[in-house]
Amino acid sequence: MSADLTRRSAAELASAIASREVSAVEVTRAHLDRIGAVDPDVHAFLHVSDELALAQAAEVDRAFDAGEQSASPLAGVPLALKDIVVQKGVPTTAGSKILEGWLPPYDATITRKLLDAGIVILGKTNMDEFAMGSSTENSAYGPTRNPWDLSKIPGGSGGGSSAALAAFEAPLAIGTDTGGSIRQPASVTGTVGAKPTYGGVSRYGVIALASSLDQPGPCARTVLDTAMLHEVIAGHDPMDATSIPQPVPNVVAAVRRGQADGVAGMKIGVVKQLGGQGYQPGVLSSFRSAVEQLQAAGAEIVEVDCPHFEYGLAAYYLILPSECSSNLARFDAMRYGLRIGDDGTASAEQVMSLTRGAGFGAEVKRRIILGTYALSAGYYDAYYGSAQKVRTLIRQDFEKAYQQADVLISPASPTTAFGIGEKVDDPMAMYLNDLATIPGSLAGIPAMSVPSGIAADTGLPVGLQIMGPALGEERMYRVAAAFEAGYLAEHGTTVPQQIPALEGTAR
């Protein structure tokens, strides 16, 4: 019974709860049990909110039993919240020692929306410290393991959220994507993750990494579940000045349309620059079969040229460190968080430096120093200023491409999941994981990863990246849903259904 519930999709669970086939408390308990059983191996969660979650579920049950109108189409469904999103009274660390033990006194806008929707928040998921990384190895609290192969990384920075989905610990999860932190983890765990148009989902209460790039988004094991969650968290927020004043896109309807009508008549662009060198053969062959499947389903495939994408990585690794060097300045041991060296003689300045030196991990410090350098007098124009110009060029590349195609596709990640520890000492090699996802981040367009299959060379899942134009979420979801349906029709199974069971591997 328990295992049954954790294997179901969010949409199925929601209707089972709404029809009172099962109670929200039963569903929550099943997932908490699953977490108890497999998380010692996977380590997706930094904090599990057992009591809060059960109380939330009980409230959903009470409302249903009282005949009240459902809070949302996902009422009672459990969710794993990335630990970068604040939830009042629940420990939030952003994967850093510097915030260990911090209890936020307020809710992020998306947390509020989730709670108002009756979605049950199971706990906070592991991540690279302050979302800096592509493997979740930069968490101060130890790495998360990929349920496909526990010796592999689950992607990053949102590896806790992707692993929670792949381990059937939660049917829904929240991620945040700055350069690929939703899409790349989805890709390497065989799950689905969408980065909305920048400003489509509020950033208020999401601990900032790079403000001009950060974008929270929905994650799940199916495209429909992702779309349903997308509609819950999206929408204009007056607390976020960069939030787009637009109605929530009808992505659930777009999914239904993709399932029903497919992609016939759509033009799909393959980005010339996102493939080839640096991409694993198994990834490329999975991508080619995805292209063939879409073509067979009636899409017209065109190749598009985006010449400035090759500068994306360089621009990204200037913009991100610059903004994060400023965003992370507030972690200074004065008002909250860790304080080290306050012996009564040390000055505030010394205590700040000692605390930040000890409280931040290596990658965080590396990027803060890099960003401080890039912003310093005399270097701004050459670095940050030029990087912002590259963004313009990349945006223009996208604009031209969307004159030729409705959506663009590429592999979501150049490789399948690599081994834990394999790249930790080589930051540049690590940074290459975001090669395919960064251009979309810089342009602020919506982009998502859906499983395209399993790589023949590694036996691990591969992600297909689908990118829409700004505010083009509906097109993007339609193609994703059509592709997912096509894969099921062709293979008789979906990728997430092939994730190995973890029971018995624990302890």
Partner 1 sequence: MTTADEPALTRDDVAHLAHLSRLELTDAELDTYLGQLGVILHSVARVGEVAGDDVEPTTHAVPQTNVFRDDVEVPCLPHAAALASAPASYEGRFRVPQILGEEA
Partner 2 sequence: MSELMDSGLMDYDEALERFDPVLGLEVHVELGTVTKMFCGCPTGFGAAPNTQVCPVCLALPGAMPTVNRQAVEYAIKIGLALNCEIAELCRFSRKNYYYPDMPKNYQISQYDEPIAFGGYLDVDVDGETVRIEIERAHMEEDTGKSTHIGGATGRIHGAEYSLLDYNRAGVPLVEIVTKPVTGTGKAAPAVARAYVAALRDLLAALDVSDVRMDQGSLRCDANLSLMEKGAPEFGTRTETKNVNSLRSVERAVRYEITRQAARLAAGQTIKQETRHFDESTGTTAAGRSKETAEDYRYFPEPDLVPVTPEREWVERVRATLPELPWLRRARQQAEWGFTDLEMRDLVAADGVSLVEQTVAAGASPGEARSWWGSYLGQQANNRGVTLAELPISPTQVAAVVSLVNDGKLTAKLARQVVDGVLAGEGEPDQVIAARGLAVVSDDAPLQQAIDDALAAQPDVAEKIRSGKVQAIGAILGAVMKATRGQADAGRVRELVLKTLGVDS
Q: What minimum distance in Å lies between the beta carbon of 80 and partner 2? A: 18
Give the C-alpha separation, 182 to 359, whole Å.
25
Q: How near is the Cβ of 339 to partner 1 at its closest, in Å?
A: 4
Beta-strand (E) ranges in 34-167?
Answer: 45-48, 78-82, 120-125
Is residue 353 a contact residue for partner 1 (CB under 8 A)?
A: yes
Q: Does 150 bind partner 1 (CB under 8 A)?
A: no
> Is 213 in contact with 198 (CB distance < 8 Å)?
yes
Contacts to partner 2 by CB under 8 A: 85-86, 92, 94, 99, 102, 104-106, 108, 203-208, 210-212, 238-242, 322-323, 325-326, 329-332, 334-336, 344, 348-349, 352, 372, 375-377, 380, 384
49 belongs to the catalytic site: no
Which residues lie below 8 Å from residue 321, measured CB to CB, with a gap of 6+? 367, 368, 370, 371, 374
In a 13 Å sphere around the CA of 210, the CA atoms on its Cβ side amount to 30
Judge residue 372's burial from the number of C-beta atoms within 10 Å of its C-beta, 0-12 exposed, 13-18 middle, 19 or more buried: middle
Rounded least distance, CB 324 to partner 1, Å: 11
22 or 447: CB nearest partner 1: 447
Residue 484 structure tokens: 């997912």
Quick check: bond before 181 cis, omega within 30? Answer: no
357 binds, among partner 1, partner 2, none (CB under 5 to 8 A by kind): partner 1
Which of the residues 181, 187, 449, 452 is marked catalytic?
A: 181
**What is d(CA 441, CA 198) in angstroms, rounded to the nearest whole number?**
8
Q: Which is nearer to partner 2, 86 or 408 (CB)?
A: 86
Binding of partner 1 by 55 (CB under 8 A): no
Give the C-alpha separation, 166 to 227, whole Å: 18
Residue 103 near which of partner 2, partner 1, none (CB within 5-8 Å, type-dependent): partner 1
Active site residue 82: yes
Toward partner 2, which CB reaches closer, 87 or 410? Answer: 87
Please state, in angstroms and rounded to a whole number, the distance separating the CA atoms of residues 172 and 214.
20
* DSSP, residue by residue, 99-121: GTT---SS--HHHHHHHHTT-EE
Please identify, using beta-carbon distances, which residue of 440 and 453 lies nearer to partner 2: 440
The nearer residue to partner 2, 330 or 400, going by C-beta atoms, is 330
Q: How far is the CB of 227 from partner 1 (least distance, A)?
A: 21
Site for partner 1 in 369-398 (CB under 8 A): 369-370, 372-373, 376, 378-379, 381-383, 385-393, 395
Closest contact distance (angstroms) between CB of 234 and partner 2 is: 17
| Of 9, 82, 113, 161, catalytic | 82
- Stretch 249-288 residues interacting with partner 1 (CB under 8 A): none
The interface partner of residue 432, options being partner 2, partner 1, none and the CB cut-off 5 to 8 Å by kind, is none
Task: Calculate ∠ Cα 14-15-21, nearest 5°.
Answer: 105
Q: What does the block give as tokens for 412?
A: 């979501």
Q: Is 199 in the site for partner 1 (CB under 8 A)?
A: yes
| 152 included as an active-site residue | no
In the bound complex, what is the minimum distance in angstroms from residue 108's beta carbon to partner 1? Answer: 15
Q: Cβ–Cβ contacts within 10 Å for residue 349, how many?
A: 9
How many residues contact partner 1, by CB under 8 A? 77
Under rule CB under 8 A, residue 471 binds partner 1: yes
Q: Does 47 bind partner 1 (CB under 8 A)?
A: no
151 binds, among partner 2, partner 1, none (CB under 5 to 8 A by kind): none
Q: Which of residues 208-237 bind partner 1 (CB under 8 A)?
A: 212
Distance CA(27)–CA(45), nearest Å, equals 18
Strand pairing of 447-454 and 45-48?
A: unpaired
For partner 2, give the closer residue by CB, 345 or 403.
Answer: 345
Residue 248 interacts with partner 1 (CB under 8 A): yes or no: no
| Residue of 40, 142, 238, 281 that binds partner 1 (CB under 8 A) | 238
Distance CA 302, CA 299 (A): 10
- Tell me whether strands 267-271 and 407-411 are parallel, antiparallel or unpaired: parallel
> Quick check: 317 binds partner 1 (CB under 8 A)?
yes
Long-range contacts formed by 397-400: CB under 8 A, 24+ apart: 397/305, 397/306, 397/307, 397/308, 397/309, 397/439, 398/306, 398/439, 398/443, 398/445, 398/467, 398/469, 399/469, 400/304, 400/306
| Catalytic-role residue among 157, 325, 410, 441 | 157
Q: How many CB atoms lie within 10 A of CB 461?
A: 28
Taking CB under 8 A as the rule, does residue 318 contact partner 1? Answer: yes
- Contacted entry of partner 2, partner 1, none for residue 205, CB cut-off 5 to 8 Å set by kind: partner 2
Q: Binding to partner 1 by residue 488, rule CB under 8 A?
A: no
Order of strands, edge to edge, in the sheet holding 78-82? Answer: 45-48, 120-125, 78-82, 172-177, 215-220, 192-195, 447-454, 461-467, 407-411, 267-271, 300-304
**Nearer Cβ to partner 2, position 243 or 494?**
243
Catalytic residues: 82, 157, 181
